[in-house]
Chain A
């Protein structure tokens, strides 16, 4: 089962805008629908939804989070082997090779604003070289 929308939906369209694969449809102020054939379970809709209307693939109600509290990838140079799997699985293409990172260039999060915090990169990394953390928290 993929993510689904329940009746609490207010039709605010926040999920439509954040969904990286355009799986959500619906008219403003009306309940929206997730196309299960398209949904990739990135969870962005659940995190952005202000009315707690999204059920995740485990059947749990998703918790809305401020965008500043979303997890973002940090690439650990010492573990990364530059295979680029993280770059390719990213549904919003926000990771890219850092041309200044040495001979075997390694990825970095160059577009933090558009990162949806899905953790696909962390899951795909064969060497556990990606850690997800909240940028605001790590800065403090």
Chain B
């Protein structure tokens, strides 16, 4: 018995046909599931230089090896494709109920190629797949679509649904794929790939069983884990979290943090609970990354995360998660039930735009979740427009009369409402800041904050240069989940993986910017671990608690029946990371040219705030990372030796095999 199905489903939307592909155990041992398996299949089957919005692109809905087998933090599914936003390898990750539903349909992944000439959706129940007409749903938002499809297909088993909203239909390059009434795989613009294929939704109602190789051991590990991660912080007020952040931000030394605090904060507030501390320490950007917390004095008092708790009707757990960092909120008479703000969304719609209008942030969060647009990128676009307006590069004539002043609720509402349907002035921003800047004066490029075309998630590289490094070197640029120095501290990989040094509790701040052996080994370990746990279908919030409390390597063995050491799993992670990079190289991407905007490197340095005076050399860090992972230190191209060492030679040659 094993926890994976050994099969993926290929759906050809051009011809309206499908077929199963059976995969050997060796393939799973080599690439795991999730993004790893997706990368291998897409590398093998996608023609090089495919148009991301054309029929040659392949869109995969992937699930991890641990999903459904009795472990925790395994409710994540992953969308994979070539990103139309960045032109690079694209992936995005989401929770809810879909991950298990994919596996219950009998597959470790469902991959779409070709494109339909009319709207369709895929329906899978116990009898197998069907492609059905989605014309009645085209033009509807993702939540309405989900509700209607569940009503249509609810028999004995309630289906799980992933759909695009109107942003995906309109091919917005910052659109995502929505499931569970407003959770969204938002990054990499993969909603547009779905829209380009005229695939409105995936509806999964399978009941196939998933079983661990060793269910008793797996449950024993889960029981122990559930006891180890439940830190009761119910009485902790948000102002104490804020004070904690301020103290860390102003300490003369750097201080590593502990994952058990993450678990407590997540359980009480969700990711938005980190906002006060992040603001305090200089992690959260203000005013399109040009400002500081001193531009919005008293922000943490005006935007009280405890207020969010007061509007929370109940906690929301993704499947197989004991934490429950999600929540369903309601503003009586103003905002119907919706998923609560995540940290990223709150930074995106509040600090980045110099707004304290929390009710508007709720409203816009719901709008974007419904229409399937990434809140991270969308807020970055509005911030860019506001800065351009301030500098006179966009005028009232351009906006149709709207004044795009910082903090203007009216401007935020108008822009986002236009963006999701590609209308009016907002249409300029529908494909992200890089493309918007190309249509304005040349100076606007410096205000368009991105890496490789993707807006950067809201953790300041001037505080944690690892955020800037990973957002630049990871094959999917601009992401915050791919790595950071903070994550090295929190993951505590040194407790399981030989050869890694423990993080010191205190360290001189300037050492963060060094490309020394400790930092570079740590950065590569974080990358490899990220690819490993993505292959397992695990949640990064869960991983932040630390592998000393979350037995991910032990689960991996008990669930699959393998007997691999943590360092062997880490090496599989390196293989996946390298394969994702090889995908980019084949696409003609030059890794040297993908960098976070210079503003985030302290060019020019900030004149106030916790990151005052900071600037650093990203190129040096990138070279250090490339050398450590086994890619050419000057070009970022994986070396022939590394490709051979990772047993990728057969795959990356023309007509390659897994």
Contact = CB atoms under 8 A, between A and B. Distances in A.
Interface stretch (B31-39, B43-51, B314-322): B314-322
Nearest to B222: A126
A83 B126 contact: no
Interface stretch (A4-12, A20-28, A69-77): A20-28
A103 B314 contact: yes
Nearest to A38: B126
A89 interface: yes
B215 interface: yes
A40 B207 contact: yes
B336 interface: no
B440 interface: no
B324 interface: yes
B126 A126 contact: no
B320 A85 contact: yes
Interface residues of B, number: 36
B635 interface: no
Interface in A92-140: 92-93, 97, 99, 103-105, 114, 120, 123-124, 126-128
B315 A82 contact: yes
Nearest to B159: A93
Nearest to B321: A83
Given A22-B126, A104-B315, A120 B209 contact: yes
A82 B322 contact: yes
Interface in B53-104: 68, 70-72, 97, 100-101, 104
Nearest to B218: A126
A88 to B, nearest CB: 5
A103 B324 CA distance: 10
Q: Kindly name the residue among A23, A88, A91, A128 whose own CB sees the greatest number of chain B CB atoms within 10 A.
A: A88
B586 interface: no
Given A41-B209, A91-B207, A123 B215 contact: yes
Interface string B197-222: 00000000001111100010011001
Given A20-B157, A127-B226, A128-B223, A84 B126 contact: no
Contacts of A82: 315, 317, 322, 324
A90 B157 CA distance: 8
A81 interface: yes
A20 B219 CA distance: 27
A84 B156 contact: no
B126 A92 contact: no
A89 B158 CA distance: 11
Contact of B100 (A21, A88, A105, A120): A88
A88 B157 CA distance: 9
Contact of A104 (B101, B154, B219, B324): B324
Contact of A22 (B127, B219, B321): B127
B107 to A, nearest CB: 14
Nearest to A123: B215
Interface in B127-180: 127, 154, 156-158, 160
Interface string B291-335: 000000000000000000000001101011110100000000000
Given A41-B209, A105-B315, A120-B209, A84 B157 contact: no
A92 B319 contact: no
Contacts of B207: 20-21, 40, 89, 91
A90 B319 CA distance: 13
A34 B648 CA distance: 43
A89 B314 contact: no
B223 A83 contact: no
Interface string A44-76: 000000000000000000000000000000000
Contacts, number: 93
A82 B316 CA distance: 9
A126 B70 contact: yes
B42 to A, nearest CB: 28
B219 A83 contact: no
B70 A40 contact: no
Given A40-B209, A99-B314, A126 B223 contact: yes
Contacts of B320: 83-85, 126
B97 A23 contact: no
Interface in B209-260: 209-211, 215, 218-219, 222-223, 226, 230
Nearest to A81: B322
Contacts of B126: 21-23, 38, 40
B511 to A, nearest CB: 39
A121 to B, nearest CB: 12
A92 B156 contact: yes
Nearest to B323: A81
A89 B70 contact: no
B72 A83 contact: yes
B220 to A, nearest CB: 10
Contacts of B317: 82-84, 104
A85 B222 CA distance: 13
Contacts of A90: 157
A89 B101 CA distance: 9
B226 A103 contact: no
B176 to A, nearest CB: 22
Contacts of B158: 93
Contact of A81 (B68, B70, B211, B226): B226
A83 to B, nearest CB: 5
Nearest to B314: A105
A92 B157 contact: yes
Contact of A93 (B156, B210, B219): B156
Contacts of A123: 211, 215
A85 B319 contact: yes
A99 B330 CA distance: 15
A14 B613 CA distance: 77
A95 to B, nearest CB: 10
Contact of B219 (A84, A91, A114, A126): A126
Given A82-B317, A88-B97, A103-B315, A126 B72 contact: yes
Contacts of A81: 226, 230, 322
B326 to A, nearest CB: 11
Given A83-B72, A126-B226, A88 B104 contact: yes
18 contacts: A20-B207, A21-B125, A38-B126, A41-B209, A82-B317, A84-B97, A88-B101, A89-B104, A91-B207, A93-B158, A103-B314, A104-B324, A114-B156, A126-B218, A126-B222, A126-B226, A127-B226, A128-B219
Interface of A: 20-23, 38, 40-41, 81-85, 88-93, 97, 99, 103-105, 114, 120, 123-124, 126-128
Interface of B: 68, 70-72, 97, 100-101, 104, 125-127, 154, 156-158, 160, 207-211, 215, 218-219, 222-223, 226, 230, 314-315, 317, 319-322, 324
Question: Closest 8 interchain pairs by CB?
Answer: A21-B126, A126-B222, A81-B322, A91-B207, A93-B158, A104-B315, A92-B156, A20-B156
